[in-house]
Chains A and B, each alone.
Chain A
Amino acid sequence: GQQVMQIPQYQHVQEGEDFTTYCNSSTTLSNIQWYKQRPGGHPVFLIQLVKSGEVKKQKRLTFQFGEAKKNSSLHITATQTTDVGTYFCAGRKTSYDKVIFGPGTSLSVIP
């Protein structure tokens, strides 16, 4: 079945350092979504990428969707303590298919 993988599983950075998490799917995706879950909270939608090679930015966050629509990345520039949480990518094979989440990357930021 469809699998979505993410690396690394955990990442500890000093405040101000950059952070990147990578997402890979075993199948071509219709779209990829990114979510953030703060400790003790629920996942919150960040962004969606649909087109091959698409790049989107949200302030210090940069999201990319691979050319083959099988991989994606989230890059955070100059991390802050407010960035702490687990970042999940999620994808579906077709627009009406189930949404499968990756295992997440847990980010810790050391002040």
Chain B
Amino acid sequence: DSGVTQTPKHLITATGQRVTLRCSPRSGDLSVYWYQQSLDQGLQFLIQYYNGEERAKGNILERFSAQQFPDLHSELNLSSLELGDSALYFCASSVEGLVNSPLHFGNGTRLTVT
């Protein structure tokens, strides 16, 4: 158990809809990362937050947005969903603020867009 909690585990929705994925980081971790993993693909970096502030942005679509709340949990919002958005979405957390801290991943949310 990594200590990172992601909900829901599975999500099935239709094209054009909007969903929210939730992530609770490990206790004490200030940084949250979001990654997208499509079938048999690698981990595509979406966005990183540190202590409530956006720190780094990857190839995140404009239809996607995220935020980190004062209690450090994070939400990833996906809107106007397309079939191609079907993927496994991972959240990871790290202590950060320290040099070279490893990432601890949650179990992921599997999104299926029909």
User: Which residues of A are interface residues toward B (Cβ below 8 A)?
Assistant: 30-31, 33, 35, 41-45, 48, 50, 88, 90, 95-104
Instruction: Decide yes or no: A48 and B102 within 8 Å by CB, A42-B107, A98-B58 being known contacts.
Output: yes
In chain B, what residue has the closest Cβ to A43? Answer: B105
In chain B, what residue has the closest Cβ to A6? Answer: B42
Given contacts A35-B103, A42-B90, A88-B42, 14 further A-B pairs with CB under 8 A are A30-B100, A31-B99, A33-B102, A33-B103, A42-B106, A43-B103, A45-B104, A90-B103, A95-B99, A98-B55, A98-B58, A99-B103, A101-B35, A101-B42
In angstroms, Cα B102 to Cα A31, docked, is 10
| Binary flags per residue of B87-112, CB closer than 8 Å to A gives 1, else 0 | 00010100010011011111110000
Contact B43 A101 (CB under 8 A): yes
Contact A95 B42 (CB under 8 A): no
- Count residues of B near A (Cβ-Cβ below 8 Å): 24
Kindly count the residue-residue contacts between A and B in the assembled complex, taking CB atoms under 8 Å apart: 58
Q: Which residues of A contact B58 (CB under 8 A)?
A: 98
Q: Could you tell me the distance in whole angstroms from the C-beta of B56 to the nearest C-beta in chain A?
A: 4
- 15 A-B residue pairings within 8 Å (CB atoms): A33-B100, A41-B107, A42-B106, A42-B107, A43-B43, A45-B103, A45-B104, A88-B42, A88-B43, A90-B43, A95-B100, A96-B55, A98-B57, A101-B42, A103-B41
User: Which residues of B are interface residues toward A (Cβ below 8 A)?
Assistant: 2, 33, 35, 41-43, 45, 48, 55-58, 90, 92, 96, 99-100, 102-108
Most buried by A among B41, B42, B106: B42
Q: Which residues of A contact B45 (CB under 8 A)?
A: 98-101
Q: Which residues of A contact B90 (CB under 8 A)?
A: 42-43
In angstroms, Cα B56 to Cα A103, docked, is 20
Which residue of A31, A44, A98 contacts B100 across the interface (Cβ within 8 Å)?
Answer: A31
Q: Which residues of B contact A98 (CB under 8 A)?
A: 33, 45, 48, 55-58
Q: Could you tell me the distance in whole angstroms from the C-beta of B44 to the nearest C-beta in chain A?
A: 8
Contact B100 A103 (CB under 8 A): no
